[in-house]
Amino acid sequence: MTILNGDKKMKRIFDKIGFLFILITLLLVMPLTAQAENKSPLTVFRAAVCYNIVEHEPLDIGTTFTNNVNTLYCFSEIMGAKANTHITHIWYYMGTERARKQLRVHDARWRTYSSKLIQKHEIGNWEVQIIDSDKNIIKSLKFNITQ
């Protein structure tokens, strides 16, 4: 009789462990499913921060620039637009938004860019987030300004 009671206790323990395993698995998988549902139809084929744009192409691409740069550009080549839409470049300095530029996207493959005046005292970490019209971040570019 005690053996049966021991078996029942073990079964309850395994049932609880199984339930916890399923619960943890669902909690880990659900955010991935939600992320997939929010995925943008637009993709960033190419993107770069650079010193200049010539004939819709980025020149002197980098991730570190000196504080005497004056102006930097964020270049984006967007794929997948099925109708006229837009993207936005959001420029952040040390985690604070410094500029927001909405840019039109007119075709399935579209190149566009924004620019930002960099002041001499703005030394440190920068980021440009490229977001679609539904506010999904489709690309993030990080760069640094040094003296």
pLDDT (average), residues 12-22? 58
Residue 126 to residues 49, 75, 97, Cα–Cα distance (Å): 10, 15, 10
Question: What pLDDT score was predicted for residue 21?
Answer: 54
Same domain for 85 and 130, yes or no, is: yes
The CATH number of whichever domain residue 114 belongs to comes to 2.60.40.1930
Same domain, 33 and 52: no
Total structural domains within the chain? 2
Residues 93 and 123 in one domain: yes
Q: Are residues 22 and 49 in the same domain?
A: no
What is d(CA 81, CA 112) in angstroms, rounded to the nearest whole number? 13
Whether 84 and 118 map to the same domain: the answer is yes
Residues 16 and 53 grouped into a single domain:
no
Is there a single domain that holds both residue 72 and residue 139? yes
pLDDT digits 0-9 by tens, 64-92: 999 999 999 999 999 999 989 999 999 99
Q: Are residues 107 and 48 in the same domain?
A: yes
Q: Are residues 29 and 56 in the same domain?
A: no
Q: Which amino acid, one-letter code, is at 134?
A: D
More confident position, 100 or 10: 100
Is residue 6 scored above 70 in pLDDT? no
10 Å CB burial of residue 47 (0-12, 13-18, 19+) is: buried
Q: What is the pLDDT at residue 3?
A: 52
What local confidence, expressed as pLDDT, does residue 39 receive? 74
Q: What is the pLDDT of residues 18-68, one digit of tens each?
A: 554 554 544 454 444 344 444 788 999 999 999 999 999 999 999 999 999
Same domain as 125, residue 67: yes
Return the SS3 of 125: strand
* Residue span of the structural domain in which 25 resides: 1-37
Q: How far is 91 from 119, CA to CA, in rounded Å?
A: 13
Instruction: Give me the pLDDT at residue 40, please.
Output: 80
**Same domain flag for 114 and 59:** yes
49 and 116 inside one domain? yes
